[in-house]
């Protein structure tokens, strides 16, 4: 049986939600001007879905074996398999190797995900969606129809396609030995969630599947929130352990580290990581995962508390002397500079 709150739902696979708490997610404005219009068309109309389908066709033709070469991580009874999809996205298959049960995070290409499921010989029982954007949720329909016991999890505030099981902050999804906690991280979208796989049951590191909140040396755009909202979400991640493995939603490492070098050119940890990333990308190898400990050392979006960035970019404390306000201003400026850097 599957239990969700006080509702009892029929099903053959052991998949359970434990509700441990909740956190309100406030309404937030969208981006302004023409960006707002493009974003609204993408997220709120069928034009966005048609654009996603075009992306999917082009990527399958251009990268028949995926945009990057990935390696699974094997732990004690748990396997994490990155699946390269579209032009730079990652989906993730998380497998209880003893029970042969799997969940998938952000299955944007159902064909690629299904191929991995068949190769691994596992039963898909859950889809964990970080947010509504088609490049993260586009495979929900096909996979949930193909796997009749499969549930689709995500935030009810985010309009997740084919959502069956809404999650709140701190809810835990259990699949076999897998214990996966949802954390509310609004900003990129109003209902964005990240998923934390607890490492304790398999005596290994915890794994953070961060969607579009956090990338190697980067963070997502604030489409449906403010800088304060995004800062709070990034601080949620900062509260996790240094050995937590970071599995982001995109392969943005080289570009992000290039920008980090502009704002913090003397950061030796960034330079070492860039050298490694460039070697990986020359061979089209994936750069996933990094660790949160590494990210603290070179990711500028996690370093708004650092004096070197505050002196280089920060406006100083806000009019009330509130340090959090100052960090939010710095984060907003970093995001603007990053957008300009990408457009060059």
Beta strands in the chain (DSSP E): 2-4, 7-9, 15-18, 73-74, 78-85, 89-96, 101-105, 123-128, 151-154, 165-166, 172-175, 178-184, 193-197, 207-209, 214-215, 218-219, 245-247, 290-291
For residues 169 and 23, is the Cβ–Cβ distance under 8 A?
A: yes
Q: Does the annotation count 341 as an active-site position?
A: no
% of the chain residues with pLDDT over 70: 86
pLDDT of residue 122 exceeding 60: yes
Strand partners, 208: 196, 246
Q: Taking residues 105-127, report their average pLDDT.
A: 98
Q: Does the annotation count 4 as an active-site position?
A: no
Q: Does the annotation count 250 as an active-site position?
A: yes
Q: How far is CA 305 from the centre of its chain?
A: 23
Crossing angle of helices 33-44 and 46-62, in 10° steps, is 80
Q: CA 95 to CA 203: how far, in whole Å?
A: 15
Q: Does the annotation count 192 as an active-site position?
A: no
> pLDDT of 234-278, one tens digit each?
999 999 999 999 999 999 999 999 999 999 999 999 999 999 999
Q: Taking residues 123-128, report their average pLDDT.
A: 98
CA nearest to 229, candidates 275, 284, 192: 192
Dmax over CA atoms of the chain, in Å, equals 59
Catalytic residue among 4, 67, 133, 169: 133
pLDDT attached to residue 11: 38
- Mean residue pLDDT across the chain: 88
Catalytic residue among 96, 106, 109, 212: 212
Q: What is the DSSP letter of 250?
A: B
pLDDT attached to residue 37: 85
Q: In which residue are the tokens 């997610």 written?
A: 25
pLDDT attached to residue 27: 31
Q: CA 71 to CA 23: how far, in whole Å?
A: 35
Give the model's confidence band at 159: pLDDT under 50 very low, under 70 low, under 90 confident, else very high.
very high
Catalytic residue among 4, 147, 169, 250: 250
Q: Taking the model in full, what pTM does it have?
A: 0.89
For residues 251 and 287, is the Cβ–Cβ distance under 8 A?
A: yes
Give the model's confidence band at 12: pLDDT under 50 very low, under 70 low, under 90 confident, else very high.
very low
Catalytic residue among 96, 123, 135, 171: 135
Catalytic residue among 4, 136, 147, 192: 136
> pLDDT of 17-74, one tens digit each?
554 443 333 333 334 457 788 898 888 888 999 999 999 999 999 999 999 999 999 9
Q: Does the annotation count 136 as an active-site position?
A: yes
CA nearest to 304, candidates 294, 291, 293, 317: 317
Catalytic residue among 4, 147, 169, 188: 188
Torsion of CA 187, 236, 68, 47, to 10 degrees: -20
Q: Does the annotation count 169 as an active-site position?
A: no
- 14, with CB counted inside 10 A (0-12, 13-18, 19+), is middle
Q: CA 222 to CA 244: how far, in whole Å?
A: 24
pLDDT attached to residue 315: 57
Higher pLDDT, 342 or 13: 342
Strand partners, 91: 83
Catalytic residue among 131, 147, 165, 192: 131
> pLDDT of 184-198, one tens digit each?
999 999 999 999 999
pLDDT attached to residue 190: 96
């Amino acid at each position: 049986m599957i239990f969700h709150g006080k509702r009892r739902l029929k099903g053959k696979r052991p998949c359970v939600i434990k509700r441990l708490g909740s956190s309100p997610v406030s309404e937030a404005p969208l981006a302004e001007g023409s960006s707002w219009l493009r974003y609204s068309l993408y997220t709120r109309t069928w034009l966005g879905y048609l654009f996603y389908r075009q992306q999917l066709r082009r990527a399958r033709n251009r990268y028949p074996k995926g945009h990057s070469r990935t390696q699974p991580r094997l732990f004690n009874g748990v396997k994490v398999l990155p699946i390269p999809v579209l032009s730079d996205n990652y989906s993730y298959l998380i497998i209880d190797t003893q029970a042969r049960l799997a969940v998938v995070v952000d299955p944007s290409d159902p064909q690629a995900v299904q191929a991995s499921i068949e190769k691994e010989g596992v039963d898909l029982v859950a889809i964990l969606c970080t947010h509504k954007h088609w490049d993260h949720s586009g495979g929900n329909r096909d996979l949930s129809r193909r796997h009749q016991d499969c549930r689709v999890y995500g935030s009810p505030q985010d309009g997740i396609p084919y959502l069956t099981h809404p999650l709140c902050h701190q809810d835990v999804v259990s699949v076999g030995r897998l214990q996966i906690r949802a954390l509310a991280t609004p900003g990129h979208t109003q209902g964005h969630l990240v998923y934390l796989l607890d490492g304790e049951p398999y005596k290994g590191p915890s794994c953070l599947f961060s969607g579009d909140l956090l990338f190697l040396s980067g963070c997502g755009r604030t489409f449906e929130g403010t800088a304060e909202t995004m800062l709070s979400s990034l601080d949620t991640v900062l509260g996790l352990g240094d050995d937590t493995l970071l599995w982001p939603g995109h392969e943005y490492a080289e570009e992000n580290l290039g920008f980090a070098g502009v704002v913090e050119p003397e950061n030796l940890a960034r330079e070492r990581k860039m050298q490694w990333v460039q070697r990986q990308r020359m061979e089209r190898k994936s750069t996933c995962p990094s660790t949160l400990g590494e990210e603290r050392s070179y990711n500028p979006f996690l370093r708004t508390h650092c004096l070197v960035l505050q002196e280089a970019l920060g406006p100083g404390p806000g009019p009330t002397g509130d340090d959090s306000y100052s960090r939010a201003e710095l984060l907003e400026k970093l995001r603007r500079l990053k957008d300009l850097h990408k457009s060059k």
